[in-house]
A = this chain, B = another copy of it.
Amino acid sequence: MHALAHEAPLTRSVEDYLKVIYHLSSQGGFAATSDIAAMLDLAPPSVSGMVKRLSEAGLIEHVPYRGVQLTAQGRRAALRMIRRHRVLETYLTQQLGYDWDGVHAEAERMEHAVSDDLIERMAGALGDPRYDPHGEPIPTAALEIEEAELVRLSEAAVGQALELREVATQDPARLRYLAEQGLTPGAQLVVTDRQPFNGPTTVQLRGSSAARVVGQELARLLLCRPGGGDGDARA
């Protein structure tokens, strides 16, 4: 396969860039310089500079003034980091009592410092979990990742029954609020109302008598699987 192998290990910066590019280009398109910069909280010229290094390293493909995409090699590196991040989040939550709103920051640093061996030991101790605490799928050790067809709660039809699968934010304040509302992965919902002009969505939560009114900003973060009739337990 690989000819000379033994590329230098990636730096922390590079690893974070690759993860961000993965997320920004996962819908098939290009990741724009300014979007990468915003996600990493950097100035756009810093990104231009790194883009040059990453494409020289064969990790991304750069189309000037359009954006970047991962090469196969870059995608592998990104998925490896995503596995690390999500295994760490799951381990810290299940074994060390972290809350789902505080675990991201810890994993964001640790993901660059641990060995593959440690990640596999953690995954093993957890029984090879398939989802992290936010419901995001954990790539396998072979770097395959589940691609689920999920709908945003903000776009689900009124009357629709749903199972909440993923909460797509890492902001601690939002996560804390959602947990208080019982809106965590696995929750069974029925959409009972939606107000116009980007208004709130109202849902009925199974196992709770009270309704929940969710503004569009949060409803966009709640990724659901249609037809959540019976609670199927997720790993």
Binding site for B on A (CB under 8 A): 92, 95-98, 105-106, 109-110, 112-115, 117-118, 121-122, 125
Q: Bound state CA distance, A112 and B95, in angstroms?
A: 21
In chain B, what residue has the closest Cβ to A112?
B113
* A115, chain B: closest CB distance, angstroms: 6
Q: Which residues in B have their C-beta under 8 angstroms from that of A122? A: 96
* A202, chain B: closest CB distance, angstroms: 37
Q: Bound state CA distance, A83 and B117, in angstroms?
A: 23
Q: Bound state CA distance, A106 and B112, in angstroms?
A: 12
Check if B112 sits within 8 Å of A96, measured CB to CB: no
Check if B92 sits within 8 Å of A95, measured CB to CB: no
In chain B, what residue has the closest Cβ to A118?
B106
Q: Which residues in B have their C-beta under 8 angstroms from that of A112? A: 113
Q: Which residues in B have their C-beta under 8 angstroms from that of A92? A: 118
Q: Which 5 A-B pairs have the closest CB atoms?
A: A113-B113, A109-B113, A96-B121, A110-B113, A106-B115
Q: Bound state CA distance, A109 and B112, in angstroms?
A: 9
In chain B, what residue has the closest Cβ to A115?
B106
Q: Chain B CB within 10 Å — which of A106, A109, A113, A122 has the most?
A: A113
Check if B110 sits within 8 Å of A114, measured CB to CB: yes
Q: Which residues in B have their C-beta under 8 angstroms from that of A113? A: 109-110, 112-114
In chain B, what residue has the closest Cβ to A96?
B121
